[in-house]
Chains A and B, each alone.
Chain A
Amino acid sequence: MRTLLFRSLIATPLSQPLPPGPEVALDTLATCLDGAARRRLGRSLAIRALDAGSCNGCELELNALSNAFYDLERFGLRFVASPRHADVLLVTGPVTANMREALARTYQAMPGPKWVVAAGACAIDGGAFAGSYAVLGGAAAGVPVDLRLPGCPPRPHELLRGLLALMDPPRRHDAGDPPGDRAAPRSA
């Protein structure tokens, strides 16, 4: 183990600056939240992820956000276990009839102010599963949605860019630099 740790110390970091995204999309994202909301959140965002019935593809990419390449915590973003600690409810998947109540209760358990992000085609409008007897629709069928991130599933950097737009005016990120200090070298 010691050699592995040592190698990791001297290796170059894998974490990458966020690739710039399409301007238009960012501007649309930014209008979702007013300035007051953004000031309140500052540079820290606690996210409670909730799978409302997804195919599990979106979860894979949410999990990827924690790997050394994306390292979402360097941006002040973190996933929390309890809705009581969350600013943002990140919903993936269509809302199945069987998950309607769990979704509503999770949202109710969050303290205000709170926001809802619908991540992925299914969470936006039910995606491939819209119209089923077992599906109510996108996240908006259960909770008020503030931000929509398209993709099936959205790529990790698309998720990151969307979440950062909640915290900061988008133009800051076009420079490619994460807010705050650059992280120390990471494991390789």
Chain B
Amino acid sequence: MGALEDLLASGAPVAGPAPWPRVVLDAVGWTAIGEALAEGALSLAALWGEADAVHAALLDETAASLAVATLACPDGRFPSLGRRHAAAIRPERAIRDLFGLVAEAAPDARPWLDHGCWAARQPLGRALPQEPAAPYAFLPAEGEGLHRMAVGPVHAGIIEPGHFRFAVNGETVVRLETRLGYAHKGIEALMQGATIERAAGLAGRTSGDSTVAYALAFARAAEAALGVAVPARAHWLRALMAELERLANHFGDIGAICNDAGFALMLAHCAILRERVLRTADHCFGHRLMRDLVVPGGVALDLEAPAAASVRDLLAEIHRQFPRLIALYEGTASLQDRTCGTGIVAPGLARRFAAGGYVGRASGRDFDARRMPGYQPYGQLRFEVPVFERGDVDARVWVRIREVEQSLSLLAQILQAMPPGAIRVNLPPGGGEGMALVEGFRGDIFAWLSLDAAGRVRRCHLRDPSWFHWPLVEAAIEGNIVADFPLCNKSFNCSYSGHDL
């Protein structure tokens, strides 16, 4: 039996969740999760809270299965998974900040999202009055010649807010610690009690660069909860939008990474391709980022024939331009000198953190939610999942380059084979519980949604891939020089907003 089956057998199944099971465990069963995670038998897909319970979404990659485990916390405490599995530490800190549930014997008891600025503490649990926050205790780094550099939350470029604390010895980074939460908007609280439409809008604003992927994750979770089958054409249109989004972001990233290595020419050219993708999206669907177009029940707009032709033109233009840019990347020694061997994430670490997207795939983790667990229409499309082993900035660039090529092929196939028909169905009344795992450009996004009998959101949790990328940024930069930090960081391009929620 697989590790996940063992776990399921040890708990009490909950009736209703779709498409994956959820079981209620006792504290012993919950602790066993920690062991299975530490041994690598399971991967942590998400860890989140409610007012009186904690949930862990667990992935068995060998058995290709997923399930959620729940532990009731009537006395506000639960055994820490972070004690055995480092990827759980930050989610547990967030659970404490938001719900007041304490992870017992957790290795890190510092607050995470709560900076002492909200009107109340534990806003989603039993709210307590705010207290003056103690200064945040950054982890120590001691030794001769070390000094500290504080960067952020306001950065020099046009990027999101976050704080980086470096301990450096001369040029070399000895320790980097990130402090996040600045972009925390309370999205989960805003969703509670909201209509599905309103919550879908919030999901699409969790990380703007992944608005299609988030809207898709939320819509799929809602459809699973309500048992709705979406028309075939809607699945294909969703995939079209998702691949356009992937293209736009990968072009942006490839250009920006090279720019952070001082090679502005690449940024100039990639930015043109990115702009062409956004203009095509705008032409097809009336919004450059394709916001609010994937909706629970289907999609809001159809793709008309002239618009489909504009996507074909776009593909042709990219096929003309992109090979030259790949050659430019490969053939510029001064650029390769910066990207190769810089910011290495060891494969073992990527596996332990179940790092999704280009971060995992550049470090040998062969996982893509479009393939496993998989969702429509990708089962009917041919695509490869590029995997590299070196785990450096260069490998993360190459994953993106190869994924651009795959997305181009996918878009051509979609245009070719998209079935006609309806694009949206009405949602039936009622409630339920659903989940989804969707591959955004950055990695897999997990959504869990519980609807009450009136069809309003009881609880929703959205887990950004960046939760498991940020800790790896800290690992990747160790031993590199400070000047390579922007380059390393851009090669991850983590979402602050998606993480901070």
Contacts and interface: CB of A to CB of B under 8 A. Distances in A.
A152 B204 CA distance: 11
Interface stretch (A17-25, A50-58, A175-183): A50-58
Interface stretch (B58-66, B154-162, B480-488): B154-162
Q: Which of A82, A93, A101, A131 has the most CB of B within 10 A?
A: A93
B185 A132 contact: yes
B186 interface: yes
A33 to B, nearest CB: 23
Nearest to B156: A81
A57 B211 contact: yes
Nearest to A64: B275
Interface string A106-125: 10000000000000000000
Q: Which of A56, A66, A101, A153 has the most CB of B within 10 A?
A: A56
B189 interface: yes
A43 interface: no
Q: Give 6 closest A-B pairs by Cβ, nearest first.
A: A57-B208, A132-B186, A81-B156, A134-B186, A97-B117, A67-B271
B265 A1 contact: yes
Contacts of B186: 129, 132-135
Nearest to A65: B158
B361 interface: no
B118 interface: yes
A64 B278 contact: yes
B332 interface: yes
Given A54-B208, A56-B208, A56-B496, A99 B183 contact: yes
A54 B289 contact: no
A20 B275 CA distance: 20
Interface of B: 115, 117-120, 123, 153-154, 156-161, 181-187, 189-190, 201-202, 205-209, 211, 252, 265, 268-269, 271-272, 274-275, 278, 288-289, 291, 324, 328, 331-332, 495-497
Contacts of A99: 153, 161, 182-183
B362 to A, nearest CB: 22
Interface of A: 1, 3-5, 14, 49-64, 66-69, 79, 81-82, 93-94, 96-102, 106, 127-129, 131-135, 152-153, 155, 187-188
Nearest to A97: B117
A98 B182 contact: yes
A49 B157 CA distance: 8
Nearest to B114: A98
14 contacts: A4-B324, A56-B207, A57-B208, A68-B268, A68-B272, A82-B156, A99-B182, A100-B117, A102-B154, A102-B161, A128-B201, A129-B202, A132-B187, A134-B184
Nearest to B210: A56
B120 A54 contact: no
A98 B185 CA distance: 9
A51 B160 contact: yes
B161 A94 contact: no
Contacts of A128: 190, 201-202, 205
B332 A1 contact: yes
A55 B288 contact: no
Nearest to A101: B117
Given A63-B158, A64-B275, 16 more contacts: A51-B160, A53-B182, A53-B497, A56-B208, A56-B209, A79-B158, A97-B119, A98-B115, A98-B181, A98-B182, A98-B183, A102-B154, A102-B161, A128-B201, A129-B202, A133-B120
A134 B161 contact: no
B153 A102 contact: yes
